[in-house]
Structure 1
Amino acid sequence: MKSIVCEQPFEFKMIQSEKPVPNSGEALIRVRRIGICGTDIHAYGGNQPFFSYPRILGHELSGYIESIPENESGLNVGDQVSIIPYMECGECLACRSGKTNCCTDMKVLGVHAEGGMSEWITVPYNHLVRTEGLTLDQSAMIEPLSIGAHAVRRAAIHKGEFALVIGAGPIG
């Protein structure tokens, strides 16, 4: 399997490694699209906090399920999916309260754990979203668009109110 590794700031390297084998509760995904995020650019530039090198970048991902165990979500081999890149621990108070976005031991693909700039990646199948009807490009944009949607929901803006959106990227 080919992967692109950010060895150190301003240095990418193509590596060859074994195709990953899913653990229990995981699916094997053939990565077909990767969005380049500000997070990736900052990591490449050496100014990404909480980051260590070398690292396979990439957390805005879409692809196809290559293997998956039987699951309650009805996901199957061949399904087109987007990947939720935030890997919560499932055990801390925030996770037990259903607020996995506040996990005290959060691992983000491409930042704290190896990301998707590879031919294949394994992820928990409960971190997959079936994206039938969307293009692969659109599927890779689900993660950044969900950040914006979450911000709008938290702002609780009502009809007639105004908001200032700062930023020209996909989230803004």
Structure 2
Amino acid sequence: MIAVLQRVRKASVTVRDQSVSTIGRGLLVLLGIASDDSDQDETFLIDKMLHLRIFSDGDGKMNRSLLDIQGELLLVSQFTLLANIRKGRRPSFESAASPEVARARYHRILACLREKHIPVQGGSFGEHMLVSLENDGPVTIIINSRESNLGRVKEPDTLTDKGMNDQKDLAWESQ
């Protein structure tokens, strides 16, 4: 899952000239759901949305969470966050979940937030939406559940991790 959290003074969604949802102070969350996302990804994301300390305290420091300020949340599904732009000029969305899977996960996340008594609104899944917001800060945080160490195998990121640690394998570095 990829989520873009934006601290807002207010945000709203309009579909076909009809207001669908509106929130006051809180978070606008744009959510991209991948085909291989799990329940652990949902739990991780919900925890971050509720507990990240990105709201200012009395001293102007980011020390307060959405829960602390009793803020509102607007959750908008946005599969384009899963765009792969490595080849060509047209984005590929092959890693995005199917609409059926994404819709189910999206509604599960909304339901979980409501169960926790969070004032939450949703967009209109699968619709063309006009999203309006008044950024506060601006403060924008990008969360990728792939970076959460949820038990996934981490890709090797150094030559040593790849087992290329003898002189022969590293000879190219000196050239």
Q: Tell me the TM-score normalised to structure 2 length.
A: 0.25
Higher helix share: 2
Q: Tell me the TM-score normalised to structure 1 length.
A: 0.26
Pick 1 or 2: higher relative contact order, CA cutoff 8 A, min separation 6: 2
Higher strand share: 2
Q: Return the index of the structure with the highest Cα Rg.
A: 2
